[in-house]
Amino acid sequence: MSAHKSNKPIDFLSDTSLSLIAGPCVIENMDMLNICAEKLCEITSRLKIPFVFKASFDKANRSSISSYRGPGIEKGLDMLRKVKERYGVKILSDIHTPEMIPQAAEILDIVQIPAFLARQTDLYRICGEFGIPLNAKKGQFMSPHEMENAISKYRESGGKQIFITERGTFFGYGNLVVDFRSIQIIKSFGVPYFYDATHSLQLPAARGGSSGGQRQFISPLARAQVAAGADGIFMETHPDVKNALCDKENQWPLNEMAEFLKPLLDIYAVIHG
C-alpha cells in the first residue's frame, strides 16, 4: 500500500492544562453530533481546555449482532467532516482495518486503534506509514508495559505522534479495573497518557446482549487519575443518556460536563503549579 505523510500535529496537547477528548460513543445522526460539538466547544473554550471531538462511525465490537453500529465509514466521515468545518474543532475516530486508514486520514486529525485491536501490527504499521497522529487504547487484556511494543510498531513504521489511553484491565468476567501504576509506566515511554473515564467503568456484556456501566464512579476516579498524573481525559458524553444507542449506562450527561471538568482543572493546576 502506498502512503503519504501527514503534517497533522497533535497540537491540542498542552503542558499547562489538562486536555480533553470527548463526544458521543457512536454517531447517531447529524443533529446529535451538532448538539454535542457545539456544547463541548463552548465549554472547553470558556474553560480554556485543549479539546478534540470524538465519535465513532462504526462500533464494530458491539455485544450483539443486532446492536446499532453507526452509519459506516462513508457517511460517518462525511458527518465528521461537517462538524470539523462548522466548529473548527479537531476530530478523532476509531478504525478497525488497515484498509480504512487512507480514507480516514483524509478527514481525521487523530486516528484511534480500539482496545480490542491493541496488538494488531498492521494497524500501527499503516498509521505510522501515513504519519497520522495516533491514539492507541490499551487492551483490556494487556499490561501497561506491553504498550511499549505498540508504540515501537508505530514509531518504527515512521510515525511520530502517538499517545496511549488507559481503559482498564479485565478483572474476572464482566468487570474492569484500572491500575494506577500504568500512568507512570506509560509516560516513561515518552508518550502522553490519557484516562478513559467512561469506558473504564463499562461492564462488558453485563446485560447479555449489551454492556452495563457504573456512571457513579466516573467523577471520583477521573479526579484521582488527574491527581496521579494523567495528561488528559478521554470520555463519552450524550445529551440524552437514557436513550443513547450505545453505552447508555456509562456515558456522561452532556449538560453536566462543565461541572464535571472544573474540579479536574483545579486538581491539575495544583499538581502542575
The pLDDT value given to residue 211: 60
The pLDDT value given to residue 203: 72
Rounded (10°) CA dihedral 68, 206, 37, 80: -40
The pLDDT value given to residue 8: 42
CATH assignment at residue 114: 3.20.20.70
Full residue range of the structural domain in which residue 222 is found: 19-272
Identify whether 259 is part of a domain.
yes
* Alpha helical stretches, state H, the chain: 30-47, 73-87, 101-105, 121-130, 147-156, 181-187, 218-227, 257-272
Identify whether 1 is part of a domain.
no
* 10-residue stretch averages of pLDDT, the chain, 273 residues long: 43 80 96 98 96 91 70 96 97 96 96 95 96 95 96 96 93 86 96 93 61 81 97 96 84 96 97 86
The pLDDT value given to residue 205: 53
The pLDDT value given to residue 124: 98
The pLDDT value given to residue 198: 92
**What is the model's pTM?**
0.91
Indicate the number of domains in the chain.
Answer: 1
The pLDDT value given to residue 16: 77
- Parallel, antiparallel, or unpaired: how do β-strands 169-170 and 110-113 relate? unpaired
Identify whether 93 is part of a domain.
yes
Identify whether 5 is part of a domain.
no
The pLDDT value given to residue 3: 43
Identify whether 8 is part of a domain.
no
Identify whether 43 is part of a domain.
yes
Question: Residue 154: which residues within 8 A CB-CB, separation 6 or more?
Answer: 124, 125, 127, 128, 134, 136, 162
Identify whether 3 is part of a domain.
no
The pLDDT value given to residue 246: 79
The pLDDT value given to residue 20: 97
Identify whether 2 is part of a domain.
no
Neighbour tally for 267: CB within 10 Å: 19
